[in-house]
């Protein structure tokens, strides 16, 4: 597992991702909920600084430890990218009035934000920037 929580700043996280060889669920890294209450991820951006040395896909999302992490990014290619750095959108929020917001990932207190590779992501250097809000009726 190779992620490092760089900063937590009142609703914003910066997570450094350094690719590893394992393809187990969440093996690239898991980050615990930093606030211990339900959070809604409103926006997330993956910035790829250096690609992986192999041909692999990255998936990112919120679930229980070792779960399926695909609700933010599902199988995005991380090898052989050109013109780095590149930024990828990790959200697709619908902003229609009187409509439930469908896209934010719900990050419950016991869940983790997890990152998985379809194959070795060795060589990958990326940053995941996450903007979230706390559920206001929780302590």
Give domain limits for the chain.
3-93+100-134
Q: How far is CA 103 from the centre of its chain?
A: 14
Q: Which helix (H) or strand (E) holds 91?
A: none
pTM: 0.86
Helix runs in the chain, H state only: none
Chain mean pLDDT for the chain: 87
104's CB contacts (< 8 A; 6+ apart) are 40, 41, 42, 91, 93
Report whether 46 contacts 122 (CB < 8 A).
no
Q: Which residue has the tokens 């229980």?
A: 64
- Say if residue 105's pLDDT is above 60: yes
- Locate 18 and state its tokens: 């350094």
27-84 residue pLDDT tens? 899 999 999 999 989 889 999 999 999 899 999 999 999 888 998 999 999 988 889 9
Q: Which residue has the tokens 């207190």?
A: 109
The CATH code for residues 3-93+100-134 is 2.60.120
């Amino acid at each position: 597992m190779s992620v490092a929580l760089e900063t937590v700043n009142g609703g914003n996280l910066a997570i450094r991702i350094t690719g590893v060889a394992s393809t187990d669920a969440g093996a690239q890294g898991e980050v615990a909920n930093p606030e211990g209450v339900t959070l809604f991820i409103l926006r997330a951006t993956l910035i790829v600084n250096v690609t992986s040395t192999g041909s692999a896909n990255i998936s990112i999302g919120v679930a229980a430890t070792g779960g399926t992490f695909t609700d933010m990014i599902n199988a995005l290619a991380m090898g052989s990218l050109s013109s780095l750095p590149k930024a990828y959108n990790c959200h697709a929020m619908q902003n229609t009035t009187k409509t439930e917001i469908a896209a934010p990932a719900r990050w419950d207190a016991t869940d983790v934000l997890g990152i998985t590779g379809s194959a070795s992501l060795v060589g990958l250097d990326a940053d995941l920037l996450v903007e979230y809000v706390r559920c206001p009726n929780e302590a």
